[in-house]
A and B are shown apart, each in its own frame.
Chain A
Amino acid sequence: MTFIKFIKESFKVILKGNKWYYSWVGMLLVMFFWGGSGYLHQLKHGLSVTNMQDSISWGFYIGNFTFFVGVAAAAILLVIPAYIYNWKPVKEITIFGEILAVSAVIMALLFVVVDVGGPFRLWHMIPVIGVMNIPASLLTWDSIALNLYFILNLFIVTYLLYTHFRKKEYNKKLFNPLILLSIPMAISIHTVTAFLYNGLAARPYWNSALLAPKFIASAFCSGPAVLLILFQILKKTTKFEIKKEAIWKIAELMAYSMFIYLFFFFSEIFKEIYSGTHHLIYLKYLFLGIGEYNDLVIYAWLSIIFSIIAFFLFLIPKTRKNVVTLNIGAILIFIGVYIEKGIALITPGFSPDVLGQLYIYRPSMTELKTSLMIFSLGFLIFTFMTKVAVEIIFKNMNINNIKGDKINTT
C-alpha cells in the first residue's frame, strides 16, 4: 500500500509550508468561496443572472474555456523541443508541463459545466448511460478528447512522481509511448475546440479555415509563457537546474509561433478587407466599433499590439536573453493570447447576430465571480501539485525517509 502512503504524504506536503505559501493558499481559498457564492446564485436563478441572451448565447465562460484548452495543449507541446534539443532536465520539464496541463484542462472543463443550462443533466453526455451524437457533434468529440487528455496526463504525472517517490526507475516501455501519445492528443484537443466554432456556417467570423491553425500557433505562446515564469521561480527557490539556453530556446520558439500566428492573422485581415464582403462587418465591430457598439475595440488593439511587441522582444537575441525583457515578453504574450481567445473570440461571432442586429456584451458580476471561483480552484490545484512535485523531485521526499515511519521504528 505504498500508493496510499504516497497520497497521504502528498497531503501532508500540501498542508505544510511557510507563511508565503499559507497566505497564497489562503487568498485563493477566499477567492474560491467568494466566487462560489456567485455560482450558487446562478444555480438558483438560472443563467438569467449572466449578461448572455438569445443573440449572444455564449460569453465569458466559453471564451475562458477556449483559452484554457489552449494552455492545456501547449503545456505538453513544450515536451517536444525538450526532447529534440535534449534540454536537461527533460523529465522535470515534462512533469511541470503535465501539472499545468492537468490544472488547465480542469479549468476548461469546469467552464463548460458552469455554462450549461442543466449542469445536473450533464450525465446525458456520459457514454453508456447517456446518448452521444457521434460522429456529428463536435462537442461530443471535444468532451471525449478533453476527458481522455485529462485522464492521460493525470496518470502520467502521478505515475512519474510515484516512481520517483519509490526511488525506482520508471517503466520506459509504458511511459514513453504514453508521453508520445499525449503530444498528438494535445494538438487534437485544441483543434477539436477550434472546430466547434469553425464548423458553424451560420457564423462567418468563425467560419475560417485558419481558425484551428491560429489557435494552435497562439497556444504555443501562452502555455510556455506560464512555464517560462514558473521555471525561473523554481530555479531561484529550489534545486531545479534548467540551463539558461533552454529558457532562451523556449522564448525563441515562442517568437516563431507568434510569427506564424501574426501571419495567419494578417492573412485573414487581408482577405476580409480586400474582398470587402458583408463579412467585413465582424472585424469592423471588433477593431473599429460600429457606432456605440465599440467596447471590444480597446481589447482587440491591445491584444495585437502586445503580441507584436512580445514577438520582437523574443525575436531579438539581446532582449530574449535579458531577464527583465524576457519576463515582460512572457506577460505581454499571455495577456495578448488571453484577450484573443477569452474576450475577442466569442462576442464578434454573435454580434451582429444572424439577423443583422447589433449587441453589446459585458460579463455580469455573477459571471465574473463564477469565473473567479474556477480560476482560483485551478491555481490551487496547480499550486498543490507543484508543491508535491518540488518536494519529491528536489527535496528528496521518498518512501524511505517518511518522518512518521522513522518515529515508529526508533
Chain B
Amino acid sequence: MKDERKIKENKETRRSFLKKTALATTFATMSACGSDTSWDEFFQKYFRTLSREEKNQIIKRLENKYSEKYGKKFSVSAKGPIDNTLFGYALDVSRCIGCRKCVYACVNENNQSRDPQIHWIRVLEMEKEKGIDFAHSNDQYNPELVPEEGHFYLPVACQQCDNPPCVKVCPVKATWKEKDGITVVDYNWCIGCRFCMAACPYGARHFNWGEPDIPEEKVNPKTHYYGNRPRNKGVVEKCTFCIQRVREGLYPSCVEICPVGARKFGNLLDPDSEIRYILKHKRVMILKEELNTQPKFYYFY
C-alpha cells in the first residue's frame, strides 16, 4: 500500500518534472530569441481562476515591471464588476461632427501603442444621401474642417455585444464577457491567433503587430488588469468602456472629451439613468442587427 503510493507520487513528480522541463526549454529558447518576458510571466497561470492571493502577487509583479519600465508609479487594479450594473453606451449620430477627439483621448487614456499606431475607435465618414452604408464610407477623411458638407459621421468601437462572436471563437478563453457586460482580454493569456479579429463584425479588435511604443511622459499609470495596462507585442486588445474608470464610477474618457456631447453612458439596469431615458425616448438603432450580436452600444438621432 505504502509502496504503491510512493510509486504514484514518484510518477506524478516525474510527470510534473517533465512538464516543467518542457516549459523551461521553451523559455530558454524564448530568451535566446530576445524576448524580455520574465520567468514568472511565462509561467503565469490562467488569471481568471486564480485565488485572490495569487492574483495579488501577479498584480505586484506587473506594477513593479511597469513602474521600472516607464519611471512612474503604476497602479494595476483588478477590481471586479459592481453589483446590479450593466453598462450601455449611446451615441447621437446627429450631433457627432467627426472631429476624432474621442479617438485620441482613448489612445491617451488606454495606453495604446503610438508606433505602430493603434486606435480603438474608428470614425467613418458617410454620405448623407446614402445613409449608413459601409461600402461607401471612408475612414481616412482628412479635411481642414469638419463636418464636411453632405456628410455625417459614425464612430465605431467595440459594441460590447451581449452575444459576442469574438468570445465564442477564442481557443484558450483569453477573452470573455464580464458580469457588467464588458468584454475583456487577458493579455497574458492571449496567444495571438487573431481568430477573434476575424469573428468581430465591427473591426473592434486590434493586434499588437510590433512591440508597443508609448512615450514615457504620455503613459497613463492608473491602470486595470483587464484594461489599459501596457501590453506586450503579439496580443489582441480592444475597447473596455475604460474599465479602469467606469468601475470607479467615472465616465469613459471618450464621453468626457466629446465637445458636442454626442456620447452618453450609463447603467442599463438603473431605470433613472440617462441611457435608459435615451432608449425610451429616442429613435435608437444598433449596427448589423441581422447578425444577432445584440450590441449594448446604441446609435440614435
| Chain A interface residues (CB < 8 Å from chain B) | 40, 43-48, 50, 52-55, 57-58, 112, 115-118, 120-125, 129-133, 136-140, 143, 196-197, 199-203, 278, 281, 349-350, 352-357
The answer to whether A118 and B234 have CB atoms under 8 Å apart is yes
| Interface residue from B135, B195, B197, B210 paired with A356 (Cβ < 8 Å) | B135
CA separation between A389 and B189, bound complex, in Å? 42
B137 within 8 A of A: yes
CA separation between A125 and B198, bound complex, in Å? 19
The answer to whether A120 and B207 have CB atoms under 8 Å apart is no
List residues of chain B with CB within 8 A of the CB of A47. 192, 207, 209-210, 234
**Closest chain A residue to B37, Cβ basis:** A120
The answer to whether A131 and B172 have CB atoms under 8 Å apart is yes
CB distance from A199 to the nearest CB of B (A): 8
**Nearest 7 A-B pairs (CB), nearest first?**
A117-B192, A117-B234, A356-B134, A48-B210, A202-B201, A139-B171, A48-B209
The answer to whether B165 and A200 have CB atoms under 8 Å apart is yes
The answer to whether B191 and A117 have CB atoms under 8 Å apart is yes
The answer to whether A117 and B208 have CB atoms under 8 Å apart is yes
The answer to whether A57 and B194 have CB atoms under 8 Å apart is yes
| Interface residue from B33, B198, B208 paired with A40 (Cβ < 8 Å) | B33
| Interface residue from B34, B139, B191 paired with A121 (Cβ < 8 Å) | B191
**Closest chain B residue to A39, Cβ basis:** B33
CA separation between A193 and B23, bound complex, in Å? 28
The answer to whether B198 and A203 have CB atoms under 8 Å apart is yes
List residues of chain A with CB within 8 A of the CB of B42. 120
Query: A44-B34, A354-B200, A355-B139 given as contacts; is B165 within 8 A of A122 (CB)?
Result: no
B222 within 8 A of A: no
19 more contacts with CB within 8 A, not counting A131-B173, A354-B200, are: A53-B209, A54-B118, A54-B206, A57-B198, A115-B193, A117-B191, A117-B194, A117-B207, A117-B208, A125-B171, A125-B191, A131-B172, A132-B171, A139-B171, A201-B165, A355-B134, A355-B156, A356-B136, A357-B139
B291 within 8 A of A: yes
The answer to whether B124 and A349 have CB atoms under 8 Å apart is no
CA separation between A197 and B194, bound complex, in Å? 12
List residues of chain A with CB within 8 A of the CB of B23. 123
List residues of chain B with CB within 8 A of the CB of A143. 171
Query: A120-B26, A139-B195, A200-B165 given as contacts; is B210 within 8 A of A57 (CB)?
Result: no
B279 within 8 A of A: no
The answer to whether B192 and A116 have CB atoms under 8 Å apart is yes
CB distance from A202 to the nearest CB of B (A): 4
B116 within 8 A of A: yes
- Tier of interface size on chain B: 35 or more
The answer to whether B191 and A118 have CB atoms under 8 Å apart is yes
Q: Which of B156, B190, B195, B233 has the most CB of A within 10 A?
A: B195
B262 within 8 A of A: no
Q: Which of B46, B156, B197 has the most CB of A within 10 A?
A: B197
The answer to whether A202 and B210 have CB atoms under 8 Å apart is no
List residues of chain A with CB within 8 A of the CB of B194. 57-58, 115-117
A-B contact pairs, 25 of them (CB 8 A): A43-B34, A47-B192, A47-B207, A47-B209, A48-B116, A48-B210, A52-B209, A54-B197, A54-B206, A117-B233, A117-B234, A120-B35, A121-B190, A123-B23, A124-B174, A124-B189, A132-B171, A132-B173, A133-B171, A136-B168, A143-B171, A203-B198, A354-B201, A355-B137, A355-B139
B211 within 8 A of A: yes
B203 within 8 A of A: yes
**Closest chain A residue to B166, Cβ basis:** A202
List residues of chain B with CB within 8 A of the CB of A48. 116, 209-210, 233
CA separation between A350 and B19, bound complex, in Å? 39
B301 within 8 A of A: no
**Closest chain B residue to A200, Cβ basis:** B199
**Closest chain B residue to A202, Cβ basis:** B201
Query: A45-B210, A117-B233, A129-B19 given as contacts; is B172 within 8 A of A57 (CB)?
Result: no
List residues of chain B with CB within 8 A of the CB of A44. 33-34
CA separation between A137 and B173, bound complex, in Å? 9
CA separation between A139 and B42, bound complex, in Å? 22
CB distance from A204 to the nearest CB of B (A): 10
B276 within 8 A of A: no
List residues of chain A with CB within 8 A of the CB of B171. 125, 132-133, 137, 139-140, 143
CB distance from A37 to the nearest CB of B (A): 13
B151 within 8 A of A: no
The answer to whether A201 and B207 have CB atoms under 8 Å apart is no
List residues of chain A with CB within 8 A of the CB of B200. 202, 354
CB distance from B26 to the nearest CB of A (A): 6
CB distance from B182 to the nearest CB of A (A): 19
List residues of chain A with CB within 8 A of the CB of B173. 131-133
The answer to whether A355 and B172 have CB atoms under 8 Å apart is no
CA separation between A7 and B198, bound complex, in Å? 43
B254 within 8 A of A: no
| Interface residue from B33, B170, B207, B235 paired with A54 (Cβ < 8 Å) | B207
CB distance from B214 to the nearest CB of A (A): 15
CB distance from A44 to the nearest CB of B (A): 5
CA separation between A88 and B28, bound complex, in Å? 50
List residues of chain B with CB within 8 A of the CB of A46. 208-211, 233-234
**Closest chain B residue to A199, Cβ basis:** B169
CA separation between A265 and B205, bound complex, in Å? 32
CA separation between A211 and B197, bound complex, in Å? 20
CB distance from B118 to the nearest CB of A (A): 8
| Interface residue from A116, A129, A138 paired with B191 (Cβ < 8 Å) | A116
B27 within 8 A of A: yes
B247 within 8 A of A: no
CA separation between A202 and B203, bound complex, in Å? 10
List residues of chain A with CB within 8 A of the CB of B208. 46, 117
**Closest chain B residue to A140, Cβ basis:** B171
The answer to whether B135 and A354 have CB atoms under 8 Å apart is no
The answer to whether B192 and A118 have CB atoms under 8 Å apart is yes
B30 within 8 A of A: yes
The answer to whether B198 and A120 have CB atoms under 8 Å apart is no
The answer to whether B197 and A137 have CB atoms under 8 Å apart is no
The answer to whether B234 and A139 have CB atoms under 8 Å apart is no
